[in-house]
C-alpha cells in the first residue's frame, strides 16, 4: 500500500511539475524492423508467480504491463545486442526505462534485469496470443 501511495504522489508531482524539470526527457522508442510481424515477444505473457500480472507486447512496439486496475503503458524495442528495452510513459512523457536480458524456452519468457542479475522473472505465453 505504501508503494501505491508513493506512485500516486510521483504521478501528481509529474503532472504539476513536468517530467523534464525532474530530469525525465520526452523520448519515444521507435520500433525496429525485428519488432514488426512475427517477433516471438509479441503476445500476452502471464507472470508464473501470479496470473493477474501481465505483459502485453504489440507488434507496433507498444505494450502494457501490470494488473487491473494498475496498468502501465510503454514502448519497447530489441536493441542491437539483443536486450529488451522498455520505456514507461506518463502521458506523452517517458518517466522510466527498464533494460532486460531475455531468453525464450518454448512458451516461457525469461527476463533478467541487466543492472541486477538477481531480478529474474519468468512468464508463460497466454494461450491464443
What is the pLDDT at residue 26?
38
Look at residue 4 and tell me if it is in a domain: no
Confidence of residue 37 (pLDDT cuts 50, 70, 90): low
Look at residue 12 and tell me if it is in a domain: no
What is the pLDDT at residue 118?
87
CATH for 86: 2.40.128.640
Confidence of residue 70 (pLDDT cuts 50, 70, 90): confident
Look at residue 87 and tell me if it is in a domain: yes
CB 112 within 8 A of CB 100: yes
Secondary structure string (H, E, C) spanning 90-127: ECCEEEEEEEEEEEEECCEEEEEECCCCCCEEEEEECC
Look at residue 33 and tell me if it is in a domain: yes
Residue entry with cell 512523457: 93
Structural domains counted in the chain: 1
Which pTM was predicted? Answer: 0.68
Look at residue 41 and tell me if it is in a domain: yes
Residue 36 has pLDDT above 80, yes or no: no
Look at residue 42 and tell me if it is in a domain: yes
pLDDT tens-digit series, residues 90-101: 777 778 899 999
In terms of residue numbers, what domain contains 80? 24-125
**DSSP symbols for 37-56:** SS-TT-EEEEETTEEEEEEE
Look at residue 91 and tell me if it is in a domain: yes
What is the pLDDT at residue 77?
92
pLDDT tens-digit series, residues 3-31: 444 444 444 344 433 444 333 333 433 33
Look at residue 2 and tell me if it is in a domain: no
Amino acid at each position: 500500500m505504501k508503494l501505491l501511495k508513493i506512485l500516486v504522489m510521483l504521478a501528481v508531482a509529474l503532472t504539476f511539475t513536468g517530467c523534464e524539470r525532474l530530469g525525465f526527457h520526452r523520448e519515444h522508442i521507435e520500433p525496429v524492423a525485428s519488432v514488426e510481424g512475427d517477433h516471438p515477444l509479441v503476445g500476452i505473457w502471464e507472470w508464473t508467480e501470479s496470473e493477474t500480472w501481465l505483459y502485453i507486447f504489440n507488434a507496433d512496439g507498444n505494450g502494457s504491463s501490470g494488473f487491473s486496475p494498475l496498468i502501465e503503458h510503454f514502448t519497447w524495442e530489441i536493441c542491437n545486442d539483443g536486450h529488451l528495452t522498455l520505456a514507461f510513459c506518463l502521458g506523452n512523457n517517458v518517466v522510466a526505462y527498464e533494460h532486460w536480458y531475455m531468453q525464450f524456452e518454448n512458451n516461457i519468457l525469461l527476463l533478467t534485469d541487466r543492472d541486477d542479475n538477481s531480478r529474474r522473472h519468468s512468464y508463460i505465453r497466454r494461450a491464443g496470443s
